[in-house]
């Protein structure tokens, strides 16, 4: 997926496909999606730094601001910058969150430059849309203050399994990166990986929200490995800048 496709999708295709309430369409349209919401909400709350009241936060790809609400709740004093490639998504985030202490920037992260550094960089489910992961990691490292943290969630690739099952991998979702590789890229740019953990869990074949919830409770306590990964749909990585 290149950035032009992502911009076009979130500005033009998504409103027709998912209607006026992206958050409901994305996170609550099925019982399985709602369990994914619960799991993401719990993981983000667990892994956002609680010792730090950051002076500034950058969120990359906030979409309609679903997880920004958690950031605002947890860090009510902090100035936030929301950066998204899509004007449509930023408008939705602004409607949900208002302008108080929040700045909205319409830009591809690929092109974003800033003299400011941020104490916390947060991003949920955006990285899979950005082709150049090396640039992503370098920019995150560059934009973090010393002592700052990056909390990133993204999808775990299951391309081999999908191909073995004879399923087509949509062009829209070919940009997923394995946790170890993402950790390596962040460390190559001077960050220290503190945590890699499962976020959403989707047990293959059964398509059961209850089973996903139960499996999530077990797998959430374990380090990711080839066995747990068969059920992990998305993961979270925390990296800090020394
Ligand atoms: C799947 S949505 C995730 C929204 C929200 N973070 C969530 O978890 O519900 C991906 C978001 O990333 C944005 N995005 C995709 N590629 C981007 C890029 N290269 N730079 C900045 N934002 C991008 C999209 O416009 C969209 O709002």
Q: Please tell me the distance from the alpha carbon of residue 61 to that of residue 58, in angstroms, as a whole number.
A: 10
pLDDT confidence of residue 20: 87
Q: Residue with the nearest Cα to atom 1 of ligand 1? A: 125
Model's pTM, two decimal places? 0.94
pLDDT confidence of residue 175: 81
Q: Please tell me the distance from the alpha carbon of residue 100 to that of residue 107, in angstroms, as a whole number.
A: 20
DSSP code per residue over 54-102: -SEEEEES-TTTTTHHHHHHH-TT-EEEEEES-HHHHHHHHHHH-STTE
| pLDDT at 153 exceeding the cut of 90 | yes
In the block, tokens 């959403």 appear at: 200
**pLDDT confidence of 158, banded at 50, 70, 90?**
confident
Residue 1 CA, closest ligand 1 atom number: 16
**pLDDT confidence of 169, banded at 50, 70, 90?**
low
**Are the C-beta atoms of 39 and 48 separated by less than 8 Å?**
no
pLDDT confidence of residue 19: 87
Q: Residue with the nearest Cα to atom 13 of ligand 1? A: 61
The residues, ordered by sequence, that sit 6+ positions from 104 with a Cβ below 8 Å of its Cβ are 82, 84, 90, 93, 94
Structure tokens at 50: 């609680």
Q: Residue with the nearest Cα to atom 11 of ligand 1? A: 61
pLDDT confidence of residue 174: 65
Q: Would the CB of 122 count as within 6 Å of ligand 1? A: no
**Per-residue pLDDT reduced to its tens digit, 10-37:** 999 989 888 888 989 989 999 999 999 9
The residues, ordered by sequence, that sit 6+ positions from 210 with a Cβ below 8 Å of its Cβ are none
**Are the C-beta atoms of 96 and 65 separated by less than 8 Å?**
yes
- Please report, for residues 87, 199, 241, the alpha-carbon distance to residue 184 in angstroms, rounded to integers and kept in the order given: 32, 20, 14
**Per-residue pLDDT reduced to its tens digit, 122-144:** 999 999 999 899 999 999 999 99
| pLDDT at 168 exceeding the cut of 80 | no
Q: Percentage of the chain surpassing pLDDT 90?
A: 81
Residue 10 CA, closest ligand 1 atom number: 25
Average pLDDT over the chain, rounded to an integer? 92
Ligand 1 pocket test, pick from 21, 40, 123, 129 with the greatest ligand atom count within 8 Å of Cβ, gives 129
Q: Would the CB of 126 count as within 6 Å of ligand 1? A: yes
What is the rounded average pLDDT of the residues 66-93?
Answer: 96
């Amino acid at each position: 997926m290149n950035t032009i496709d992502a911009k076009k999708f979130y500005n033009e295709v998504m409103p027709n496909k998912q209607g006026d309430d992206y958050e409901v369409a994305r996170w609550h349209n099925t019982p399985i999606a709602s369990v994914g919401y619960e799991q993401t909400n719990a993981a983000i709350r667990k892994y956002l730094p609680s010792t730090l009241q950051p002076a500034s936060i950058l969120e990359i790809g906030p979409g309609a601001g679903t997880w920004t609400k958690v950031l605002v709740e947890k860090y009510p004093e902090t100035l936030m910058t929301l950066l998204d490639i899509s004007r449509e998504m930023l408008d939705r985030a602004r409607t949900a969150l208002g302008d108080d202490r929040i700045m909205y920037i319409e830009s591809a992260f690929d092109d974003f430059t800033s003299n400011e550094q941020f104490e916390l960089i947060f991003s949920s489910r955006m990285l899979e849309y950005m082709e150049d992961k090396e640039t992503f990691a370098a920019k995150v490292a560059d934009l973090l203050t010393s002592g700052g943290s990056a909390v990133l969630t993204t999808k775990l690739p299951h391309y081999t399994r999908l191909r073995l099952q004879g399923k087509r991998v949509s062009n829209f979702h070919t940009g997923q990166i394995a946790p170890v590789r993402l950790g390596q890229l962040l460390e190559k740019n001077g960050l220290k990986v503190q945590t890699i953990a499962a976020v959403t869990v989707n047990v293959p074949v059964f398509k059961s929200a209850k089973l996903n919830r139960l499996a999530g409770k077990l797998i959430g306590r374990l380090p990711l490995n080839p066995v747990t990964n068969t059920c992990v749909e998305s993961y979270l990585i925390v990296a800090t800048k020394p």
